[in-house]
Structure 1
Amino acid sequence: MNRAQLIVSDACIGCGRCINVCPGGILHMGADGKPCIQDFDEFGWNGCWQCQHCLAVCPKAAVSVLGRRPEDSMPMPDPTTAEPVMDALVAGRRSCRRYLHRDVPRETIDEMLELLANAPNGGNKQLVEYTLVDSAETMDRLRALARAEMERLADEGIYPEGYDEQSYGDLKRWEKAVRPDMLFCGAPRILIPHAPLGHGEPVQDVIIAGTYFEPLCASRGLGAVMMTFPLDVLALMPDVRAPLGLPEDHYVGMIAGFGYPQIPYARTTQRRIDEGRIHRLSPAWSNLPIALPGRS
């Protein structure tokens, strides 16, 4: 039997919020009017999901779990101040293709990786792994090796999936203006999220992790770019890909490049979704003759 360490202080008022949010359904109200946790066989679907929701919802900071104390949590932001900041981060996001030659502090990268543990993932299984290249020397070596092999393959008429001689030529032409490095967009650092196939929801989990990483970068003044082209390129050169140590049985959806932007945005863009791309459920749907459970 396993037991997630649950400590409930005298500040508990017996409101039951922790019980109502427990996805594993392993909390119940004890005879003393305080929440208790039942024994379970495993962490996960049939036991404690290790989500810490019980700790997070307690209005009196009375619940500690898994060795985590409520006083060590960050307070939730006020929506009136968080809304405009989040709106600006979303509206101001872009693919950064030019970077400064400036190191990203190790503590900043570690901080962002730790926060990625909060990204949604199937069943809270926490199966996403991260391959990080945070050394300028290593990144430059990877860039040079991949570029040399890519050029050699192009000379033989071999191009990444979805590309031909013309499209490859377009990429090389863009290097003179838009992005000096067509392979990794000049990113001085890269992060590769990946997860084991056949367990949980690897595709969704990896994509969501990458998506969460981008605003974490933006909030710290970093630029980011989500790239799939390098994956197609590296697929043609196993000897160059091998040092990355990406398991063959893992799903890899993108490579996230990041660093300090050479050309920062002065303001957000003003993109809009065309009304034709928004499909709202018709009010007439509620009048369909469907028999609902318990109703005649």
Structure 2
Amino acid sequence: MNKTGFQVDRNTCMGCGLCTRVCPGGILSLDGEGKVQMAEFEEFGWKGCWKCEHCLAVCPAGALSIFEHRPEDSLSPVKATDAAPVLDALIANRHSGRRYHDRNVDPGVIRDMIGRLANAPNGGNKQQVEFTLIDDKERMKRLRSMAFREMETLAGQGIYPEGFDRASYEDMKRWRQTVRPDMLFCGAPHLLIPHAPLGKGEPVQDVLVAGTYFELLCASRGLGAVMLTFPLAALKRMPRIMAMLEIPEDHYTGMFIGFGYPEISYKRGVQKTVDPGRIHRPAF
């Protein structure tokens, strides 16, 4: 049954058929009058509506509405001449933030950024990535304190974060004196953990893409962010504390993302390049 609320302004529809050519579910067609129509379907997904809203986005006349979303409420495309230099600058000026101010980010800003992750690419548009969020600096301090104490206790027993030995663990501790005062969470006042259920869709790719998009969203709003795998490796040795995060055991978690207002402001972007030897062109 059609539960999309799909609507067509038949006076505005041009019958161009663009929507029928971008519909991944193949459920749109033109009727006898050359106006778009949607076929009935049993369930969302492979054989029905993918909830992608491509039909709304592609219509040149703005004749289609779906899920109560109207074309006039959509963001307009940005010209390449305007978008390219901005995105180039965001990527070049994106840094892993390892020092943060001890203040909360406005909750509305955080909600807005997470909401926009619905637009990040994900397999089959299944929208199955979930987000564990710590958006209060005092709660983050409690997590940091508990985890650090437990990590040190385990280290005293010769048990180190997954993938680390004594030497590499001691390296991390030495860096606390300079670049990384908080070896677990880099002092970030907030934490976002994207995770998705294993066994269906593309959980690994979906989680990593969502994390990457979130980091760019932070950069675009003047926030610092850092993708962290060390605390994930550490908390795998701490089932009690890991359970407090309430992440289902059958979910893939690729990284933690610490974020907040950066303590150190960078004055320019970096100038990294991809070595030509890393580019491979297969011969057919």
Normalising to structure 1: TM-score of the pair?
0.94
Counterparts of 1:186-201 in structure 2, within 5 Å, are 186-201=187-202
1:105 corresponds in structure 2 to 106
Deviation at 1:53, TM superposition (A): 0.2
2:148 corresponds in structure 1 to 147
2:4 corresponds in structure 1 to 4
Contact 1:3 1:39 in 2 (8 A): no
What is the rounded CA distance, in whole Å, between the counterparts of 1:247 and 1:264 in structure 2? 37
Counterpart amino acid of residue 152 in structure 1: T
What is the rounded CA distance, in whole Å, between the counterparts of 2:57 and 2:118 in structure 1? 15
Contact 1:102 1:260 in 2 (8 A): yes
Deviation at 1:12, TM superposition (A): 1.4
Q: 3-state SS of the aligned residue for 1:175?
A: helix
Counterpart amino acid of residue 4 in structure 1: T
2:71 corresponds in structure 1 to 70
Q: 3-state SS of the aligned residue for 1:162?
A: coil
- The count of aligned residue pairs is 283
Q: Tell me the percent identity.
A: 60
Deviation at 1:102, TM superposition (A): 2.2
Deviation at 1:145, TM superposition (A): 0.1
* Root-mean-square deviation (Å): 0.9
1:29 corresponds in structure 2 to 30
What is the rounded CA distance, in whole Å, between the counterparts of 2:70 and 2:30 in structure 1? 20
Contact 2:99 2:186 in 1 (8 A): yes
What is the rounded CA distance, in whole Å, between the counterparts of 2:3 and 2:240 in structure 1? 46
Contact 1:159 1:168 in 2 (8 A): yes
Counterpart amino acid of residue 260 in structure 1: Y
What is the rounded CA distance, in whole Å, between the counterparts of 1:49 and 1:260 in structure 2? 37
2:176 corresponds in structure 1 to 175
What is the rounded CA distance, in whole Å, between the counterparts of 1:103 and 1:207 in structure 2? 25
Contact 2:197 2:251 in 1 (8 A): yes
Deviation at 1:91, TM superposition (A): 1.3
1:204-254, CA deviations, whole angstroms, 9 ceiling, x for partnerless residues? Answer: 111111011110000000011011111111111111111110100111110
Contact 2:162 2:236 in 1 (8 A): no
What is the rounded CA distance, in whole Å, between the counterparts of 1:107 and 1:251 in structure 2? 27
Counterparts of 1:217-232 in structure 2, within 5 Å, are 217-232=218-233
Deviation at 1:110, TM superposition (A): 0.6
Q: 3-state SS of the aligned residue for 1:276?
A: helix
What is the rounded CA distance, in whole Å, between the counterparts of 1:167 and 1:161 in structure 2? 11
What is the rounded CA distance, in whole Å, between the counterparts of 2:108 and 2:101 in structure 1? 19
Deviation at 1:31, TM superposition (A): 1.5
Counterparts of 1:1-296 in structure 2, within 5 Å, are 1-9=1-9, 10-282=11-283, 285=284
Higher-Rg member (1/2)? 1
What is the rounded CA distance, in whole Å, between the counterparts of 1:193 and 1:4 in structure 2? 27
Contact 1:193 1:255 in 2 (8 A): yes
Counterpart amino acid of residue 5 in structure 1: G
Deviation at 1:162, TM superposition (A): 1.7
Q: Which runs of 5+ in 2 are unaligned?
A: none
Q: Which runs of 5+ in 1 are unaligned?
A: 286-296
What is the rounded CA distance, in whole Å, between the counterparts of 1:198 and 1:2 in structure 2? 27
Q: 3-state SS of the aligned residue for 1:68?
A: coil
1:120-145, CA deviations, whole angstroms, 9 ceiling, x for partnerless residues? Answer: 11111110000000011110000000
